């Protein structure tokens, strides 16, 4: 998870690209306590380097949150001047403060698909601002408009606040579709990790409030179940890289404002605990076998399909949390392949022919 935005510290810049190409680093050894053979071949050298970086990360505590929220000094996250974007502040409604959103690739006078994006970060880190460049690149590939929400983070704000921030962004997108060149009938929700959790929550809230039609949900290794690694046991080889059971407990406790894994969970806060998934929009879910969220994501996809909600599930062997951003930065073919799978899923969700 470690999303100070998915790519802020998952990216290792050009150094990781060089590591991926060095045969001398391909020797068999343990990485993060795992036999290297369990890791996807294109991710092994990267995983070895990243494992060393993780050893220097501060402990995940409330006292360390200011340090944890600092962006990693890798990559270029400056916005692209060629793709328009604008920061707006919109009302959420009492008793909540206003929330900032970034409107990306607006083209008044057109009617294109739209995405409401929620960034990752374990519910406790990350920002929409540092997602802008990534969303600009996606908007160009899909010829769509994207709104990404600077929702309030936990523990300062629990699920009850951030859900309303994101829903306000969704409502604004729908109400202002004409002015930004969006088709109000083709709005998808999308997010990575905790952002995938927020996107799943938005789909549920939108279904029940009946104000905004959502046509698709794109959930990239979504964080869906507060019980994982706590009362829901996982295999010893998952959650060893990037996002661990200990970090997961911390993130969920901050988000819920209570100990996770209990007998009950607040409505909407934990998508995996929602009893009724009927009537949700079609979904795409992608996750790796070494990701802490693998089992919960597979279960969620199966539950969607079992109630008649079409859900495409991609499980990538030997991939850990955030693998796609790392692989793209290192120019590994796996990153490009997964990106194309995701893009085609979104195209199908929008009713556009797959590339």
Stretch 80-109: mean pLDDT: 97
Beta bridge partners of 101: 88, 149
Please indicate whether residue 299 is annotated as part of the active site.
no
CA 6 from centre of chain: 7
Whether 198 shows a pLDDT value over 70: the answer reads yes
Helical H segments across 210-276, by residue range: 245-256
Q: What is the pLDDT of residues 234-250, one digit of tens each?
A: 888 898 888 999 999 99
**Domain positions in the chain:** 13-350
Residue 179 CB contacts under 8 Å (≥ 6 apart), including other chains: 106, 108
Given 85, 193, 226, 324, the catalytic residue:
193
Percent of the chain past pLDDT 70, that is, above it, reads 88
Helical H segments across 100-209, by residue range: 132-142, 159-175, 177-180, 194-209
Whether 133 shows a pLDDT value over 80: the answer reads yes
204: confidence class by pLDDT, cuts 50, 70, 90? very high
Given 162, 225, 321, 324, the catalytic residue:
321
Stretch 316-332: mean pLDDT: 92
Task: Judge contact between 244 and 250, C-beta under 8 A.
Answer: no
**Token couple for 330:** 């290192």
Whether 191 shows a pLDDT value over 60: the answer reads yes
Given 165, 183, 225, 291, the catalytic residue:
291
Q: Looking at per-residue confidence, does 125 or 31 come out higher?
A: 125
Q: What is the DSSP string of 263-328?
A: S---TTT-GGG-S--TTPPPEEEEEETTSTTHHHHHHHHHHHHHTT--EEEEEETT--TTHHHHHH
Give the single-character DSSP code of 259: -
pLDDT at 45: 87
Q: Looking at per-residue confidence, does 109 or 2 come out higher?
A: 109
Stretch 147-164: mean pLDDT: 98
Please indicate whether residue 85 is annotated as part of the active site.
no
Whether 21 shows a pLDDT value over 50: the answer reads no
Around 332, how many Cα atoms within 13 Å sit in the side-chain half-sphere?
A: 29
Cis peptide before 155 (omega within 30 of 0): yes
pLDDT at 71: 72
Class of domain 13-350 as given by CATH: alpha beta
Of 113, 167, 161, the C-alpha closest to 140 is: 113
Q: How far is 104 from 255, CA to CA, in rounded Å? A: 28
Whether 12 shows a pLDDT value over 50: the answer reads no
Q: Which of 24-38, 42-56, 223-237 has the lowest mean pLDDT?
A: 24-38
CB atoms within 10 A of CB 143: 13
Residue 82 CB contacts under 8 Å (≥ 6 apart), including other chains: none
CA 215 from centre of chain: 18
Residue 20 CB contacts under 8 Å (≥ 6 apart), including other chains: 42, 45, 46, 330, 331, 332
Region of 123 (left: φ > 0; alpha: ψ -120 to 50; beta: rest) is left
Angle at which helices 159-175 and 245-256 pack, to 10 degrees? 80
Stretch 141-154: mean pLDDT: 98
Q: Residue-wise over 65-79: b if at least 16 C-beta within 10 A, else e? A: beebeebbebbebeb
Cis peptide before 311 (omega within 30 of 0): no
pLDDT at 89: 98
pLDDT at 73: 53
Please indicate whether residue 193 is annotated as part of the active site.
yes
pLDDT at 26: 34
């Amino acid at each position: 998870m470690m999303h100070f935005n998915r790519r802020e510290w998952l990216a290792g810049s050009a150094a990781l690209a060089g590591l991926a190409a060095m045969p001398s680093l391909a020797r068999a050894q343990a990485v993060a306590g795992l036999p290297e053979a369990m890791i996807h071949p294109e991710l092994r050298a990267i995983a070895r380097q990243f494992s060393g970086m993780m050893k220097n990360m501060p402990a995940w505590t409330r006292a360390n949150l200011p340090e944890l929220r600092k962006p990693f000094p890798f990559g270029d996250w400056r916005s692209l001047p060629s793709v328009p974007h604008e920061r707006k502040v919109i009302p959420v409604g009492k008793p909540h403060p206003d929330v900032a959103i970034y409107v990306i690739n607006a083209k008044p006078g057109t009617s294109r698909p739209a995405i409401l994006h929620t960034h990752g970060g374990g519910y406790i880190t990350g920002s929409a601002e540092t997602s802008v460049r990534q969303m600009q690149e996606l908007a160009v590939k899909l010829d769509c408009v994207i709104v990404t929400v600077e929702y309030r983070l936990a523990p300062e704000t629990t699920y009850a606040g951030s859900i309303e921030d994101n829903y306000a962004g969704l409502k604004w997108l729908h109400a202002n579709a004409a002015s930004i060149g969006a088709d109000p009938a083709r709005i998808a929700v999308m997010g990575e990790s905790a952002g995938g959790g927020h996107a799943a929550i938005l789909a549920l809230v939108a279904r029940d409030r009946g104000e905004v039609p959502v046509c698709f949900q794109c959930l990239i290794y979504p964080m869906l179940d507060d019980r994982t690694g706590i009362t829901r046991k996982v295999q010893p080889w998952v959650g060893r890289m990037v996002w661990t059971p200990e970090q997961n407990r911390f993130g969920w406790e901050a988000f819920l404002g209570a100990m996770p894994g209990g007998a009950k969970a607040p409505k909407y806060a934990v998508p995996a605990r929602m009893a009724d998934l009927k009537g949700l929009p079609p979904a795409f879910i992608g996750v790796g076998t070494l990701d802490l969220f693998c089992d919960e994501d597979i279960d969620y996809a199966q539950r969607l399909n079992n109630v008649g909600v079409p859900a495409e599930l991609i499980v990538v062997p030997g991939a850990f949390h955030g693998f796609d951003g790392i692989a793209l930065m290192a120019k590994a073919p796996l990153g490009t392949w997964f990106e194309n799978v995701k893009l085609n899923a979104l195209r199908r969700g929008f009713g556009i022919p797959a590339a």
